[in-house]
Amino acid sequence: MARLPYRGRKDVTVASLLLLVLALLLGPVPSSAAGTEWWLPTARPAPDSQINVTGGPFTGTNAQGEVRGFADLHNHLFSNEAFGGRLICGKTFSEAGIADALKDCPEHYPDGSLAIFDFITNGGDRKHDPVGWPTFKDWPAHDSLTHQQNYYAWIERAWRGGQRVLVNDLVTNGVICSVYFFKDRSCDEMTSIRLQAKLSYDLQAYIDKMYGGTGKGWFRIVTDSAQARQVIEQGKLAVILGVETSEPFGCKQILDVPQCSKEDIDKGLDELYDLGVRSMFLCHKFDNALCGVRFDEGSLGTAINVGQFLSTGTFWKTEQCTGPQHDNPIGNASAAEAEAELPAGVEVPAYESGAQCNVRGLTELGEYAVRGMMKRKMMLEIDHMSVKATGRALDIFEAESYPGVLSSHSWMDLNWTERVYGLGGFIGQYMHGSEGFIAEADRTEALRDKYGVGYSYGTDMNGVGGWPGPRGADAPNKVTYPFKSVDGGSVIDRQTTGQRTWDLNTDGAAHYGLVPDWIEDIRKVGGQDVVDDLFRGAESYLDTWGASEQHRSAVNLANGAPATASSAEWNPFTSYAPGRAVDGDRGTRWASDWSDDQWLRIDLGATHRVGRVTLDWERAYGKSYRIELSTDGASWKTAWSTTAGDGGLDTARFTGTPARYIRILGLERGTDWGYSLHEVSVHSN
């Protein structure tokens, strides 16, 4: 606490006393001077973990009115409740205290011999010391994938170190649950998601209680970007709920037959939204009824492919990629323990090294889900989606100018980085070691500068991914303890829980409390620039979220407008008339005769400013075509053209031009069929 000099001191002059009083009145006053150390709980459980951070969290905004702070776009606070409840051992919090929260799974005692998943993921001699609190001899550790890394006090340390956004992805996988030997609850994915959402709110209440009541704690679950900004300006942690699961809403597919409907999707999205979920993955690890996945590699890929078969009745199928984007190569590595789960006579297929793309993209139901998320202003996570599925999703967003797209932990094809930024989306990198993280950050720095965005990370803690190992006690530019937080207002020392003290240099990123140490390692190895971009992460994430909330679908000037065409394919059972391309139904289509030089003309009924036209092609697409505009239907001007059409969803943007008539003139077909359009949308901008 700052104190005035004792008034009996003879060496204090009147002038110096006045100056000191003036300084106290006008200058910054430490929070402790006013007894307002709001960041320190009044009733922390005892015993408990230390935080080892001194100084108050920064509040308010910068000179530009922007929030500050780091953003973790991808974490799993409650995956210990997933996969049957016994894959990840330990809890994020417990009303019974830290000894109950940080203890191993029952089958790991006495020496880890039955910790089967730990052995599969970490190897070794199958053994480890199962004791957590208070000794923590073998866990948590950067390479132990089955033990709790998100104890609430470790999250508190990350917040005190400057983090202001945390996306808590509710996660599970029904197949992993069903094949794992130990479980104590149902494998139904949505049941687990509901439980994890409830526990997120329970954790908020648990922390609130330490600070004197509802709303007073630092852990704040938020459901809109304005609320998140308020929380961050107060110096607290904004927590957003996301979902990463393999079969959302029960949308699995068996032998390529969907097991859900559009009604299931609407009901599921509504339920998740009501739970507070604002971002989600449509597929994860296994192909489902919504989309194909971006493969895992090596022996892990083989093991997951086995899971794919057990879940869906089919293995992954690959094809030659049509562009520079590609999924991860599957390879033909062995995974003996997983392959033993296959029925007799069934084997994992071999894959050609040159065929790296999943044949499965975004399905009709998947597209319905994407549009349903847009309608609810939710953000789509494109990591884990196949390039075919991602490409279609980005096409849809570009057609609607929708910015709500996230890549949170380095699972997106890097060739699409600028495409995401161009939409107004946001990108985070997996929590790699400092050298690798800096190299990737440097690779995309020019794009961040171009689009004026910050940067972010996805720790994926409790996500069975592995985390940065130690660089060594003698490594150059190692972390020196204690060090100052990025804002300069706090001092961070080595973290201690019970009898164990962690040092990033020798322990690596063993748990979530070492996130500030890892950021300091990035600063020491790569300089201040990357850290400055990371410190802008919270603002950029909220920019994407806020723009998604404010998005309004533009009026489609072509909807229901009269349409004519050069020809229409005849079919005795259905109509392919020109009006089918402007009826607002993506299940219908216009189809021309099977020849080049075909056209579709739309009459908007009056002259409008036209600056964007979207074409939703059926399989029979135009390779070379142009979009023409006219005010009188007689004199035409080319507004946009291409000779490299590849089907799918094409969005043509051009300078806004007055027009009443729109003509799509097909010059060269992309197939042996004619030209076929599900829907044409025309917009002013």
Give the model's pLDDT for residue 23. 33
b/e burial code for range 357-381 (CB count within 10 A of at least 16 → b): bbebbbbebbbbbbbbbbebbbbbb
Give the model's pLDDT for residue 11. 35
- Whether the Cβ atoms of residue 126 and residue 115 lie closer than 8 Å to each other: yes
CA 364 – CA 395 distance, rounded (Å) = 14
**Complete DSSP assignment for 74-107:** EE-TTGGGSTTTTSSBS-S--TT-HHHHS---GG
CA 638 – CA 634 distance, rounded (Å) = 13
For the cut 60, the answer to whether the pLDDT of residue 34 exceeds it is no
Alpha carbon 181 to its chain's center = 30
| Beta strand ranges found along 277-336 (DSSP E) | 277-281, 318-319
For the cut 90, the answer to whether the pLDDT of residue 116 exceeds it is no
- Beta strand 429-430 pairing with 457-458: parallel
- Whether the Cβ atoms of residue 67 and residue 237 lie closer than 8 Å to each other: no
Of 174-183, 239-248, 528-537, 676-685, minimum mean pLDDT range:
174-183
Give the model's pLDDT for residue 29. 34
pTM of the model: 0.91
Average pLDDT of the residues in 617-633: 97
Percent of all residues in the chain with a pLDDT value above 90, rounded to a whole number? 86
- Whether the Cβ atoms of residue 139 and residue 127 lie closer than 8 Å to each other: no
Higher pLDDT, 72 or 28: 72
Percent of all residues in the chain with a pLDDT value above 70, rounded to a whole number? 94
Give the model's pLDDT for residue 664. 98
Mean pLDDT of the chain: 92
pLDDT band at 649 (very low <50, low <70, confident <90, very high): very high
Give the model's pLDDT for residue 123. 65
- Whether the Cβ atoms of residue 293 and residue 384 lie closer than 8 Å to each other: yes
Give the model's pLDDT for residue 424. 98
Domains of the chain, CATH where assigned:
70-103+152-287+362-550 (3.20.20.140), 293-359 (no CATH), 563-683 (2.60.120.260)
Q: What is the pLDDT of residues 505-541, one digit of tens each?
A: 999 999 999 999 999 999 999 999 999 999 999 999 9
- Whether the Cβ atoms of residue 208 and residue 216 lie closer than 8 Å to each other: yes
- The dihedral over CA atoms of 610, 667, 566, 664, expressed in degrees to the nearest 10, equals -10
Give the model's pLDDT for residue 21. 31
CA 533 – CA 523 distance, rounded (Å) = 11
pLDDT band at 30 (very low <50, low <70, confident <90, very high): very low
pLDDT band at 434 (very low <50, low <70, confident <90, very high): very high
Give the model's pLDDT for residue 124. 64
Of 282-286, 327-331, 417-421, 523-527, minimum mean pLDDT range:
327-331
Q: What is the pLDDT of residues 51-78, one digit of tens each?
A: 999 999 999 999 999 999 999 999 999 9
Count of CA atoms in the C-beta half-sphere (13 A) of 315: 16
CA angle 202, 461, 55 (to 5 degrees): 70
